[in-house]
Chain A
Amino acid sequence: EVQLVESGGGLIQPGGSLRLSCAASGFTVSSNYMSWVRQAPGKGLEWVSIIYSGGSTYYADSVKGRFTISRDSAKNTLYLQMNSLRAEDTAVYYCAKDGDSGTRFDYWGQGTLVTVSS
């Protein structure tokens, strides 16, 4: 059974750093396209970043240069390193995997809340 479990969220001051983790089971993270999607409180969904099975990465303009997506094959875990955090980064962060044949985001984690505030 596919499972995605995020962790690492919390309260952080503006300018601070945080690393989110997404522990996967039931499939191999490094063999799939994996993304982070976020949702500010009471707002819509925003795609944040993707890492391809081959290792290529892409980012939303709003986080480019501040966030880094990565993975650890041994731990079967996806990460999002977030630096220079701003109040507008406050959101629930979801990790999601792609399936086959164009099935974008066929499985999602439960989300982890990041609050950027002084």
Chain B
Amino acid sequence: AIQMTQSPSSLSASVGDRVTITCRASQGIRNDLGWYQQKPGKAPKLLIYTASSLQSGVPSRFSGSGSGTDFTLTISSLQPEDFATYYCLQDYNYPWTFGQGTKVEIK
């Protein structure tokens, strides 16, 4: 199975900060990667699909980049509602695998 390694596992940031989360695949996955946001007690929410496409309704401060093995989720200016846990998911081949998550906390 493809291993997805996210970093950092947690970070503290302030409102207005630029935040970058990375996800590395153990083998090339083209651009078959998505990013999800999850708040406590809630279902995940799709933010980015095919590595860099913004899901409808998601604020433009979220962006994704990368291809092959290295991917990045960037929040250009962190807002109070962005404090959550973020996961990447590879759907290049089965079994699909998530990263372990990155918890974004308030500094």
Mutual binders A and B: yes
A residues lining the B interface (CB < 8 Å): 37, 44-47, 50, 58-61, 94, 101-106, 108-111
Give the distance in Å from the alpha carbon of A47 to the alpha carbon of B89 in the complex.
9
Contact A109 B46 (CB under 8 A): no
Q: Tell me which of B45, B46, B98, B100 contacts A47 (CB under 8 A).
A: B98
Contact B87 A103 (CB under 8 A): no
Contact residues of B between 48 and 82, Cβ < 8 Å to A = 49-50, 53, 55
Closest to B96 in A: A47
Query: What residues of chain A lie closer than 8 Å to B96, measured between beta carbons?
Result: 47, 50
Q: Interface readout for B72-107 with A: 1 if CB under 8 Å, 0 if not?
A: 000000000000000101010011111111000000
Residue on B nearest A107 in the bound complex, by CB: B46
C-alpha gap A5/B57 in the complex (Å): 22
- Chain B residue nearest in CB terms to A6: B43
Chain B residues with Cβ under 8 A from A94's Cβ? 43-44
Residue of A whose beta carbon sits closest to that of B94: A58
Chain B positions within 8 Å of A, measured between CB atoms, are 1, 32, 34, 36, 38, 43-46, 49-50, 53, 55, 87, 89, 91, 94-101
Chain B binding site: helix, strand, loop or mixed by DSSP? loop
Taking a contact as CB atoms closer than 8 A, the residue among B43, B91, B94 that contacts A108 in the complex is B43
Residues in B whose Cβ lies below 8 Å from that of A103: 46, 49, 55
Given contacts A45-B44, A47-B89, contact A105 B98 (CB under 8 A): no
Residue of B nearest to A92 (CB): B43
User: Does A44 lie within 8 Å of B87, measured CB to CB?
Assistant: yes
Rounded to whole angstroms, the CA-CA distance of A15 and B36 in the bound complex is 33
| Chain B residues within 8 Å of A110, by CB | 43
- Please measure, in the bound complex, the distance between the C-alpha atom of A46 and the C-alpha atom of B4, giving whole angstroms: 12
Distance from B95 Cβ to chain A, minimum over Cβ atoms (Å) = 5
- Distance in angstroms from B14 CB to nearest chain A CB is 25
User: Are A44 and B101 closer than 8 Å at their CB atoms?
Assistant: yes
* Closest CB in chain B relative to A50 CB, distance in Å: 8
From A45, A61, A105, A111, contact of B95 by CB (8 A): A61
Contact B55 A104 (CB under 8 A): no
Specify which chain A residues have a CB less than 8 angstroms from the CB of B91 in the assembled complex.
Answer: 104
